[in-house]
C-alpha cells in the first residue's frame, strides 16, 4: 500500500468556543505528528473532529483523538467525532471508544450537542 498524505484544517464553528478539525486522508502513525502539534497549540471548549474524509485509522490515529479527549476533559472541554465511515467507525467500536466520545453523523449534529 502506498503511503497517502494527511491534510487537515481547523475552523471556528457556529459558536466562538467551538473548533472544527476537518481531517482528510488516513489517520495513521506516519502522518499524525503535525496534527498533534496543531491540536496542542490552541484550545477550545468544544472540539469537533470531522472524519468524513478519513478512509482508515490505526491505533496511533485513535491515540490522537483519545489523548485530545482526555486533555479536553481535564480542562472542562468536550470532544465530538462526526462523519465516520464504516471502517473507521469499526475501530471506535472495537476499542469501545464510541461509548466514551460522542459520535454523530454530521457537523450540524455535533454543533447541536456542543
Domain residue extents for the chain: 7-113
Mean pLDDT for all residues in the chain: 94
C-alpha distances in angstroms, 12 versus 17, 46, 72, 93? 8, 10, 17, 28
Which pLDDT score is estimated for 32?
Answer: 94
Residue 33 — very low, low, confident or very high, per pLDDT cuts 50/70/90? very high
Which pLDDT score is estimated for 1?
Answer: 46
CA atoms within 13 A on the CB side of 111: 14
Q: Indicate the class that CATH gives domain 7-113.
A: alpha beta
Rounding to the nearest 10 degrees, give the CA dihedral for residues 114, 21, 50, 37: -120
Q: What is the pTM of this model?
A: 0.94
Copy the grid coordinates of residue 72: 479536553
Amino acid at each position: 500500500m502506498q503511503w497517502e498524505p494527511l491534510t487537515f484544517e481547523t475552523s471556528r464553528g457556529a459558536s466562538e468556543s467551538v473548533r472544527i478539525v476537518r481531517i482528510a486522508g488516513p489517520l495513521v502513525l506516519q502522518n499524525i505528528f503535525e496534527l498533534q502539534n496543531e491540536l496542542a497549540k490552541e484550545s477550545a471548549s468544544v472540539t469537533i473532529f470531522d472524519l468524513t474524509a478519513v478512509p482508515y485509522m490505526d491505533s496511533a490515529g485513535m491515540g490522537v483523538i483519545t489523548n485530545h479527549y482526555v486533555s479536553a476533559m481535564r480542562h472542562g472541554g468536550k470532544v465530538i467525532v462526526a462523519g465516520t465511515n464504516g471502517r473507521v467507525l469499526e475501530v471506535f467500536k472495537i476499542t469501545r471508544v464510541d461509548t466514551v466520545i460522542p459520535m454523530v453523523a454530521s457537523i450540524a449534529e455535533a454543533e447541536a450537542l456542543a
